[in-house]
Structures are given as C-alpha cells and as structure tokens.
Amino acid sequence: MECMAQEPVLFEDILCQMVDMIGPEREKYLTLSDLKGCRLSGNIFNILFNLNKFMAFETRDPFLIRQEREDPTLTEWDRFAHREYIRLSMEEDGEDASNGSGEVWDESLEAPF
C-alpha cells in the first residue's frame, strides 16, 4: 500500500471489518456457510486477494452507495447521465439568470426617447 501512496492498514483492522461484514454464527471462526450466506462475500475475496479492489472498497463514496440502493435497476451509466443532466441544466439556469439580470440592468440605464 505504501507504493500506492496509501497509509498501511493493520491486518487486525481488516480482519475485524471482514468479520463484521460476514456476521458469522459463531464468533470464534468463519465457516463456508457463513461466506455463502453473506451478501458481501465478493468484497471479502476482493479485500483478501486484490489490492486495487481493496483500495476502491476503502475509498468508496457513501453518497454513491445510497444512490445505488435507492434505485438498483439503474446502471452506472444511467446514474452518470442523470448527474450530468442535472449539472448541465443548473449551469444553463445560472447562465440564463446572469444574462437576464444583465438585460434588466441595461434596460434601466437606457434614456427614454
């Protein structure tokens, strides 16, 4: 992790996090049935065997996770397109407001004929 400019994480902390994710029936050991019954078992294997996916898991965005839970039928592309649409519409509204206020200012300065 140091080669990726990340602070190393203690194995005890990772183990505690994995046990909390799995929620084993018995506290002293994990069984295969515990892993099979856990919805997050894929994350467990990523934590153990894939450093890149572990880093992605550790730095995940809680707001993005909440959005995924709100509407699980949307794909990542659908969520991206929705965010960009909102961002662009807000930019356009901001430009319209600034243009509109400029027009009002110009009209108030014009002398009557």
* Whether the predicted pLDDT of 104 surpasses 60: no
Tokens of 27: 């506290």
- Of 17, 20, 87, 105, which Cα lies nearest the Cα of 9? 17
Question: pLDDT by residue (tens digit) across 39-83?
Answer: 888 888 888 888 888 887 777 777 777 777 787 788 878 888 888
Tokens of 107: 């009209």
**Mean pLDDT of the 87-98 span:** 81
In this prediction, what percent of the chain has a pLDDT beyond 70?
A: 79
pLDDT for 33: 86
- Of 95, 17, 88, which Cα lies nearest the Cα of 57? 17
SS3 30: coil
* Residue 57 near residue 43 (C-beta atoms within 8 A): yes
* Residue 15 near residue 41 (C-beta atoms within 8 A): no
